[in-house]
Amino acid sequence: MRFLSILFAGLLSLSAGSAFAADAVANPPVESINWSGAYIGIEAGYGWGGDSYQYFSDDPVHVRADGFIGGVTAGYNWQRDHLVFGVEGDISYSAMKGSTHTDVSGPPCRDEGCTATVDWFGTGRARVGYAFENFLPYATGGFAVGHVKGSADLGACLPAGSCDYSDTRWGWTAGAGVEWAMNQQISLKAEYLHVDLGAPDFTRSSVTTDAKFDTARIGMNYHF
């Protein structure tokens, strides 16, 4: 009888231990994430937007440029309670390009058409977010820099020269994103940015332009 009691108690203990282990595997404890510290990462996505060309007082012509973007990023966070403050910089290659022809007479895009290209861009931004354990939504904004190129009809040019530009421009950027920490070292993010690089200067041209675009990208960061 005593042997049966001991055996029954052992089976109960083994069953309870197995149930606890299975529950731990199925529902692992959420690691407490501290977002403070430095990080580096990679990111890739899609950019769209382009330039608006205007010839004197005519209606502006929008030249859509879109394509792949991808690059590297680095930053630093400070966390106080649930609030997370940070600074972040990135530099990205861009395959954003496009062209258009208008169906109206006259420049700037009637004959040869107009083109727009973004070769590369970078940003330096502040970030502020609210941490829900390992989930961090945030807003971000700061300065932007990038190299843009474009061309318009020769009919929009002065008597000599070509109608084009190739310019490194400075401007501003703003957006928002979400970041999810898989653990203390690795996090994934999704982010939207609007970038405004102002008005590049056409060479020997009566055309003015405004270079703006948007980006949606995903990335992975490694936190030190």
pLDDT per residue of the chain (224 residues) written in tens, 0 to 9: 443 344 334 434 434 444 434 444 444 444 579 999 999 999 999 999 988 888 877 778 888 899 999 999 999 999 999 999 999 999 999 999 998 887 766 678 877 788 999 999 999 999 999 999 999 999 999 999 999 998 888 777 766 556 788 999 999 999 999 999 999 999 999 999 999 999 888 776 778 888 999 999 999 999 99
pTM: predicted TM-score of the whole model, two decimal places = 0.80
Q: Determine whether domain 32-223 maps to CATH 3.10.20.90.
A: no
pLDDT at residue 102, rounded to an integer? 78
pLDDT at residue 160, rounded to an integer? 55
**Largest pairwise CA distance in the chain:** 112
With beta carbons less than 8 A apart as the criterion, state whether 69 and 49 touch: no
Contacts of 197 (CB under 8 A, 6+ apart): 121, 144, 145, 146, 148, 169, 170, 171, 211, 212
